[in-house]
Amino acid sequence: SSGKILIKQGTVVNAHHKVVADVYIEDGIIVSVRPNIAVGDDVKVIDATGKYVMPGGIDPHTHLEMDFMGTVTIDDFYTGQAAALAGGTTMHIDFVIPINGNLSAGFASYVDKAKKSVMDYGFHMAITKWDEAVSKEMELMVKENGINSFKFFMAYKGALMINDELLLHGLEKCKSLGALAMVHAENGDGVAEGQKRIFDLGITGPEGHALSRPPVLEGEATARAIRLASFINAPLYVVHVMSIDAMEEIAKARKSGQRVIGEPVVSGLTLDDSGLWDSDFTTAAKYVMSPPIRKTGHDKALQDALATGILQLVGTDHCAFNSTQKAFGYGDFRKIPNGVNGIEERMHLIWETMVESGKISVTDYVRITSTECAKIFNIYPRKGAILEGSDADIIVLNPNASFRISAISHHSRSDTNVYEGKTGKGKVEVTISGGRVVWEEGNLKITLGSGKYIKMPPFSYLFDGIDKADATYLASLHSPVHRTAAAAAY
Ligand code: URP
Ligand code: ZN
Ligand code: ZN
Ligand code: ZN
């Protein structure tokens, strides 16, 4: 039947091991991984000799059909996922944005948007205000709706931004539920000040965006979030790490044993702003995202941090707009919708930048593009591995073929691509999603509505031993030495 596939003679790569073997799939599940599997002729055979057979990519950070900055991102769950599959990504985790702070309404709207899905997906949820209802609804989201992560925006003042009090409440609530707190780390008050200062100087074009929110504001917010998470003793996930400043805070915290995860994104790892802001408005505006694309040097430092384990996994922050949408900010950079593409390009650009360049091994590639994400969001080994019993989300990558990126040929609905013209070696030739071949010989074969919602359970490995650490801390507060110190303080 069409549900039976044999991938022959490839190098099967998992996060910590690779071996030449066959992979046999039936009804969406990996049934067998071993050499020389014999099958009948009702089985589709894919020859992977000389190629890598790897878990499909999992993109931890996307914004499909998101209402944002007065418009809606141009890729919906159909076009965004089609692009993902063509680029070797077989699952993504999108951010549910509450409606007027209401979590259930936000969730319902995303359930609706995701009806167009053609591949598996999960949800994070943003928290934009705080009251009893929100706190209760977070419980509902975790216990009933399969959400195990909440994002707090420390920037976008007057819109999504939260303050430290809310972040503290959120961290505490997340911890009690076994959910992971995520932060967009930029000092939002600083950004607002910076924007006013730059605009008043008469700098109104896209270059003003980068000038108004320098790395120091990202470093400050990252440090603050890390310290507040330490104070609560809760794990923390920093999304889109774009600067050395932020990365160094994460390095320091991890070295001290704190549970902090750092997610660089493809744009921050592969782009810098040399010459960028000298271009015409349309060209420069397409690169406007937050935190901004940095000066050269940050990209290389982030690559090294990823290679050495200071940062753990790669996202895209795919948040694509058309040039007509970007043009809303003509004459005022503050109104340019923030966001770039990447869901289709991630697997190729990370292969080129990290593996082809010799910075990391093929097994590490699988870890940072798939396995680590599955572990952090608690869906491993169903996802993120080529093991018997895992979902059949698999790619075949030919290390000797090459890719070329262009808005002409990409599958995103956007008319531009921030990676336009980039080429490299290593091409995803086959994508298998849920046991179906969906990308082969440059053709997409997808079915509207065939994607499944993946519920993510709470209490990932990041929570192991947290109770014990709390108990030790509380016991220390009650120890005679502290009571004496407290008494002496009065
Ligand atoms: O510019 C960006 N990053 N747009 C998407 C929203 C966000 O902050 O992740
Ligand atoms: Zn963000
Ligand atoms: Zn984002
Ligand atoms: Zn003490």
Residue 475 has what pLDDT?
A: 82
CA 388–ligand 2 middle distance (angstroms): 36
Question: What is the interface pTM, i.e. ipTM, of the complex?
Answer: 0.92
Residue from 68, 240, 340 to probe ligand 1 pocket by mutation (most atoms less than 8 Å from CB): 240
The ligand that comes nearest to the alpha carbon of residue 473 is: 4
Q: How far apart are the first and last CA of the chain?
A: 79
Q: pLDDT tens digits for 108-144?
A: 999 999 999 999 999 999 999 999 999 999 999 999 9
Residue from 338, 343, 414 to probe ligand 1 pocket by mutation (most atoms less than 8 Å from CB): 338
CA 360–ligand 3 middle distance (angstroms): 26
Name the closest-CA residue to atom 3, ligand 1.
Answer: 290
Locate the ligand 1 atom nearest the alpha carbon of residue 155 and give its number.
8
The ligand that comes nearest to the alpha carbon of residue 213 is: 1
**Cα 192 off chain centre by:** 26
What is the pTM assigned to this prediction? 0.97
CA 272–ligand 2 middle distance (angstroms): 18
- Mark residue 7 as left, alpha or beta (left: phi above 0; alpha: psi -120 to 50; beta: remaining): beta
Residue 151 has what pLDDT?
A: 98
- Name the nearest CA neighbour of 290 among 349, 247, 340: 340
Name the closest-CA residue to atom 5, ligand 1.
Answer: 339
CA 339–ligand 1 middle distance (angstroms): 5
For residue 438, give both structure tokens: 């969906």
For residue 218, give both structure tokens: 């990202």
CA 63–ligand 1 middle distance (angstroms): 8
Locate the ligand 1 atom nearest the alpha carbon of residue 289 and give its number.
1
CA 34–ligand 3 middle distance (angstroms): 39
**Antiparallel, parallel or unpaired: β 180-184 and 236-238:** parallel
Task: Report residues whose beta carbon is within 6 angstroms of any ligand 1 atom.
Answer: 63, 184, 240, 289-290, 317, 319, 338-339
CA 181–ligand 4 middle distance (angstroms): 26
Locate the ligand 1 atom nearest the alpha carbon of residue 61 and give its number.
9
Residue 110 has what pLDDT?
A: 98
Write out the H or E segment, with its range, that includes residue 5.
strand 4-14
CA distances from 348 to 270, 397, 434 (A): 11, 9, 21
- Kindly report the CA angle at 378 between 17 and 353, in degrees rounded to 5? 50
Sign of CA dihedral 157, 158, 161, 167: positive
With beta carbons less than 8 A apart as the criterion, state whether 287 and 309 touch: no
With beta carbons less than 8 A apart as the criterion, state whether 451 and 114 touch: yes
Residue 2 has what pLDDT?
A: 61
Locate the ligand 1 atom nearest the alpha carbon of residue 151 and give its number.
9
Name the closest-CA residue to atom 4, ligand 1.
Answer: 339
Residue 91 has what pLDDT?
A: 98
In whole angstroms, give the CA distance from residue 438 to residue 150.
Answer: 31
- Name the nearest CA neighbour of 125 among 155, 100, 92, 152: 152
Amino acid at 188: G
Name the closest-CA residue to atom 2, ligand 1.
Answer: 339
CA 274–ligand 2 middle distance (angstroms): 23
CA 208–ligand 1 middle distance (angstroms): 17
Locate the ligand 1 atom nearest the alpha carbon of residue 153 and give its number.
8
Integer-rounded Cα Rg, in Å, for the chain is: 23
CA distances from 273 to 294, 296, 344 (A): 6, 7, 22
Collapsed DSSP state (helix, strand, coil) of residue 193: helix
Locate the ligand 1 atom nearest the alpha carbon of residue 184 and give its number.
8
Residue from 72, 263, 289 to probe ligand 1 pocket by mutation (most atoms less than 8 Å from CB): 289
Q: What are the start-end ranges of the E strands in 269-348?
A: none
Residue 353 has what pLDDT?
A: 98
In whole angstroms, give the CA distance from residue 460 to residue 259.
Answer: 12
CA 263–ligand 2 middle distance (angstroms): 11
Burial state string for 33-63 with b = 16 or more CB within 10 A and e = fewer than 16: beeebeeeeebbebebeebbbbbbbbbbbbb
Residues of the chain with pLDDT under 50: 1
Q: How many CB atoms within 10 Å of residue 196?
A: 12
Residue from 74, 128, 290, 321 to probe ligand 1 pocket by mutation (most atoms less than 8 Å from CB): 290
- Name the nearest CA neighbour of 333 among 273, 277, 285: 285
Residue 470 has what pLDDT?
A: 87
The ligand that comes nearest to the alpha carbon of residue 320 is: 1
In whole angstroms, give the CA distance from residue 422 to residue 409.
Answer: 13
CA 240–ligand 2 middle distance (angstroms): 7
Q: pLDDT tens digits for 211-240?
A: 999 999 999 999 999 999 999 999 999 999
